[in-house]
Structure 1
């Protein structure tokens, strides 16, 4: 298949916000500047380096992959997956007439070593989940990408509100890092992290690293956090909850909704100019409508990962 050409069978059929049919793999600005070929523009082989349980939960896996070079590869190739973009995994499984396709968003990428890492939540009984759970190091899988539509412009300072649900926080980490790692980028980020409880807040160490920067703030919204004080109306001021938080962590024992977004808009020193939402499709749709209302934004300023 010619480079960059997309076939209808490349669509996984899961109703992804950034469907490959709408956002086909394309050379990024970084790749164009480097003048090198992006190895993942067509389906390419990647070898698994590790398949580790994350946060003590066997259903959560941190997977590490590296590109398998071919005889035709020279030193003119890189792995370029821009922040916020995803890659498509294509797997041919026994008993399935057609290959299974699933999108995953890397939270870490090495351009030169051509490696990437993903956080995967396995669903019991799911054919792809069962396949991934059984994978051993050195097994080879096929990935293609990058697929997405968000491009950050560092030359124009802005206030970026990022909303992440559950494991989808992984896809937002590179978005934050690209702003904070650029000393010339004056954009400010507010990171709203939505989880069931503190145990289901992932990459807490990374979030705390971000909090050292002047232009980053975050708040963890805990919809079902239980508190040892036993009070029915316990809130984030409770000392029992505070003892579970780490230094510089802020948490609220409630669900993020339009009221909470409106509170942030009222007390924020800067008007939110861009909202990025990562999570399940239903969560994305609900939060998009609420963000448009709370921040008085147009739909074109809302990006769904």
Structure 2
């Protein structure tokens, strides 16, 4: 997509034309910026091939053993060239964080999620800390102000803003990339895609980003349903659909009925979860190229 050509001030005849050529330019420029704002440029402060330093600036407990970690760009590692301060990535992409102990180094992938009014040089990730995970143990020990190493962004999914329907199927923290994609679409005034999320959780205490999902559901083109493998203590919000059962293939087939030619399906969760869900989806006459697993 090419940027619009800016007209000269003299191109306006000052006779009250509707639309004025200057107004048309401003509208085209707005659309151009909206479409290209998430494109990766050579001036990105995070790199695919070298680590950049991001300081941990906040830790917010989300649910039991699950936290929102927020990081802010500090600069490149020593010896790396400086770049313009822009943190750019596409919805659904992930970064790699490098951890280090006295005897080993390791990396884990985390997806930045959109946070309203967040600085352009900050990002927030949803992270579940496990008892025996090597990165979990590392994250449990770091404190506010600690410098950490990140590289990226990775992931080759690109949103098709012209698709009619999009089905998002997430398990646990696999919600993160799908939420970022849904957030981008509902906030794009030029996109008319209908979004449906099936979110699979263990129990009501692991409905991650619940308030954010509920807020998204106020948009005309987004809705979600939650499926719980353990159904104790369910308290749905107004108009919130929570099923006291696991997601079954018939729910997927019912949604996909008559949509198989105009739908993209995005799946994120454990490898076994994604493999099983993809098999069910492909039985519903959906083309394999319309199914994306993260």
Instruction: Quickly name the TM-score band, shorter chain normalised.
Output: 0.7 to 0.9
Q: Contact (CA 8 Å) 1:278, 1:284: kept in 2 or not?
A: yes
Matching residue of 1:139: 146
2:85 matches 1:77: yes
Matching residue of 1:273: 263
Q: 1:297 aligns with which of 282, 286, 294?
A: 286
2:69 matches 1:63: yes
> How far did residue 217 of structure 1 move?
1.4
Q: Contact (CA 8 Å) 1:159, 1:270: kept in 2 or not?
A: no
> How far did residue 302 of structure 1 move?
1.0
> How far did residue 257 of structure 1 move?
2.5
**SS of the counterpart of 1:190?**
strand
Worse overlay, 270-279 or 60-69: 270-279
2:96 matches 1:88: yes
- Matches of 1:150 and 1:121 in 2, distance apart? 24
2:255 matches 1:264: yes
2:240 matches 1:249: yes
Q: Contact (CA 8 Å) 1:223, 1:254: kept in 2 or not?
A: yes
The alpha-carbon distance between structure 1 residues 159 and 31, as it changes in their structure 2 partners (threshold 3 A), is closer
Normalising by structure 2, what TM-score?
Answer: 0.79
Matching residue of 2:202: 196
**SS of the counterpart of 2:101?**
coil
Worse overlay, 83-92 or 270-279: 270-279
Q: Contact (CA 8 Å) 1:79, 1:112: kept in 2 or not?
A: no
Q: Structure 2 unaligned segments of length 5 or more: list them.
A: 1-34
Superposition map of 1:186-225 within 5 A? 186-225=192-231
> How far did residue 77 of structure 1 move?
3.2
The alpha-carbon distance between structure 1 residues 187 and 276, as it changes in their structure 2 partners (threshold 3 A), is same
Q: Which runs of 4+ in 1 moved over 3 A?
A: 28-33, 70-74, 109-112, 268-272
> How far did residue 112 of structure 1 move?
6.0
Task: Give per-residue Cα distances to partners, 1:121-166, cap 9 Å, x unaligned.
Answer: 1111222110101110110111111110110132x13200001111
Matching residue of 2:53: 45
- Matches of 2:219 and 2:36 in 1, distance apart? 26
2:273 matches 1:283: yes
- Matches of 2:229 and 2:157 in 1, distance apart? 28
How many residue pairs get matched?
254
**Greater Rg, structure 1 or structure 2?**
2
Superposition map of 1:6-17 within 5 A? none
Q: Structure 1 unaligned segments of length 5 or more: list them.
A: 1-27, 228-240
Task: Give per-residue Cα distances to partners, 1:260-290, cap 9 Å, x unaligned.
Answer: 2112223x77865100011111111111111
